[in-house]
Amino acid sequence: MAKKTPEINASSQADIAFLLLVFFLITTTMDVDKGIQRRLPPMPEENQQEQDVKINRRNIVVVKINSQDRIMVGTSPAEVGEIKDKIVEFLTNPTDDPNMPEKETKFIEGLGNYPVSRGVVSLQNDKGTLYNTYIQVQNEIVRAINQIRDQFAQEHYGKKFAQLDEDKQKIVKEAVPQNISEAEPKDVKGKK
Amino acid sequence: MGRFRKGGKKQAPAISTASLPDIVFMLLFFFMISTSFRQTDKLVTVKLPAATENVKLERKDLTSYIYVGSPIPAKQAQYGTDSRIQLNDSFRTVTEIRDFVAAAREALAEGDKEQMTIAIKADENVRMGIITDIKQELRRCSALKIMYVARQK
């Protein structure tokens, strides 16, 4: 009988694989970038530059940040923490105040008629504003809108917005639109 | 032989480690696939601002990054400490964003061009002047989908 070939010792295979594994573990960057997503308005055409969309004064709330990072919401100064509630109150207009945004009854597929707020948040900043402050304010505005969406989702579907399926999220987004306008910087308009 | 062992405790058989390499390989492949090597060296220091309402950046392959911040200490002798824009791996001016965006758009498949995202990684201490300039330039070359990258608070 021929002598059996001894089995090749495979125990070091694991070590080799581990070595490679460690290498890739270290080089992997798993960090997913997160942030605040925005859509910029398209650049106006040369000939229609002055043709701004007329928005009723009551439908617009101006959030201003000056070069000292002081914040104004509407006509009164505010701290970062106060912005959210002010925006929520403005956009939902619970008392149907004539100085706050009107509501337009809109037909939304899958929901029916719903009074959609026409409120727009206009964000204006100075050249000297800190980026950090700007992001904080953006964040607060998004937080306000998310709160309204959550509330809406809770009332209509009994769930939070994030837990709804895609179709329902679309409905909620239509009922509570995210209308943030960023003002045209003044000096850029003059130059070009 | 068995006769002798009868009285003693039966020894537990050694656990087979034959499948260990397979498990390790599985992990290995996972990390090999998810690895992306950093292509650019950072020339600016960026401490991202913190926010709570972050959304995940989808489709990293469709994203181009614009870094804004103060140059790293090694470059400060040459470029000073004023906020600079970094595109790919060199300092650029605002007007060069146009070429950068055009090149990034060119590299994408036809159907994905609409989805192209520009991620702005700016230091929390930069002033809005430079960010506004970037935004205006992006609007001019119709790269409208942007993201302000932030830390989770």
CATH for B102? 3.30.420.270
**Tens digits of residue pLDDT in B48-77:** 888 888 888 877 778 888 888 888 888 787
- Whether residue B147 lies inside any domain: the answer is yes
Give the whole-angstrom CA distance, residue B137 versus residue A131.
Answer: 18
Give the whole-angstrom CA distance, residue B88 versus residue B100.
Answer: 8
**Tens digits of residue pLDDT in B27-56:** 888 877 877 666 677 788 888 888 888 888
Confidence (pTM): 0.74
| Confidence (pLDDT) at A48 | 56
Answer yes or no: is pLDDT of A143 > 50: yes
Give the whole-angstrom CA distance, residue B117 versus residue B139.
Answer: 12
CA distances from B153 to A70, A88, B58 (A): 21, 21, 20
- Whether residue B69 lies inside any domain: the answer is yes
Q: Which residue ranges make up each domain of chain A? A: 55-185
Nearest to B31 among A25, A142, A143 (CB): A25
**Tens digits of residue pLDDT in A7-31:** 777 778 778 888 888 887 787 766 6
The structural domain count of chain B equals 1
Question: How many CB atoms neighbour CB A64 within 10 A?
Answer: 19
Residues of B in contact with A32 (CB under 8 A): 56-57
A138 burial type by CB count under 10 A (0-12 exposed, 13-18 middle, 19+ buried): buried
Residue-number span of the structural domain to which B66 is assigned: 44-152
User: Predicted ipTM?
Assistant: 0.73
Query: To the nearest whole angstrom, how far is the Cα of A30 from the nearest Cα of chain B?
Result: 8
- Whether residue B23 lies inside any domain: the answer is no
Percent of chain B with pLDDT over 90: 0
| Confidence (pLDDT) at B36 | 67
Answer yes or no: is pLDDT of B2 > 80: no
When the pLDDT of each residue in chain B is averaged and rounded to a whole number, the result is 81
Whether residues A38 and B147 touch (CB distance < 8 A) is answered with yes
A95 burial type by CB count under 10 A (0-12 exposed, 13-18 middle, 19+ buried): exposed
Percent of chain A with pLDDT over 70: 86
